[in-house]
Amino acid sequence: MSYYLWEMRPYFRQVAGQLALGSITGFIMNTAVVLPAILLGWAIDAALAFERGEVGPGAVGWAALAFVGGTLLTEGPRIAKRWWLMTANARIRANIRGDALRGVIAWPMARLDSTPAGDVMARIIGDVEVLGVGVREFSIETWDTMLFSLSLMVAMLVFDLRLTMLALLPVPVAMLLAKATGRWVA
């Protein structure tokens, strides 16, 4: 797989700005992704404290407003990240499609005449679609998973260091086992 990603460098370079903006907003989104859950917990705590008469209605309002703000801080960058990464993916596919067409046009006339046009079109469309899905999976899903996992780990460490270390203790062994199993199956 790394060979294909290496060969795709010229296409990634053409959309480097979009990929950078998508990555930055993805980093913001995945860093802030833990905020809504934390702020919802604080809002519920404030509502329960209000019910017991320990705080006034202003505290509940501020907690609810903080929850809405935390949700917007997560969802705004999510929209921007999807926009930038999806448009970069579409531009990569369009550039690959254009290069494939230029390659077909450069064929000798005898080869063009002997090859059915529908076969060539189907091949170009299919190959570009497969590459587009691969690029999308690499640039969006893998990146999101990595950043989300790191954000979740940091949030867990902030709340309870000892419990987090205990929960994450088997992760390296599980990762090595997954890699070994993947090689064995493949």
Instruction: Tell whether the model's pLDDT for residue 186 goes beyond 70.
Output: no
Instruction: Tell whether the model's pLDDT for residue 78 goes beyond 80.
Output: yes
Structure tokens at 139: 């640039």
Delineate the domains of the chain, giving CATH numbers in brackets.
Answer: 2-161 (1.20.1560.10)
pLDDT in tens, 117-167: 888 888 888 989 988 888 888 877 887 788 788 878 888 888 899 999 999
> Which of 33, 23, 24 is CA-nearest to residue 148?
33
- pLDDT of 5 reads 74
State percent of the chain over pLDDT 90.
Answer: 49
Place of tokens 């070994």: 180
> Which of 134, 152, 145 is CA-nearest to residue 26?
145
pLDDT in tens, 2-14: 677 788 889 999 9
What's the mean pLDDT in 77-83? 93
Average pLDDT over the chain, rounded to an integer: 89
| Nearest-angstrom CA–CA distance, 29 and 144 | 9
Place of tokens 């867990």: 156
- Please name the amino acid found at residue 51: E
| Nearest-angstrom CA–CA distance, 45 and 49 | 6
3-state secondary structure of 26: helix
Structure tokens at 61: 């309002």
Residues 6 or more apart in contact with residue 70 via CB below 8 angstroms: 32, 35, 36, 38, 39
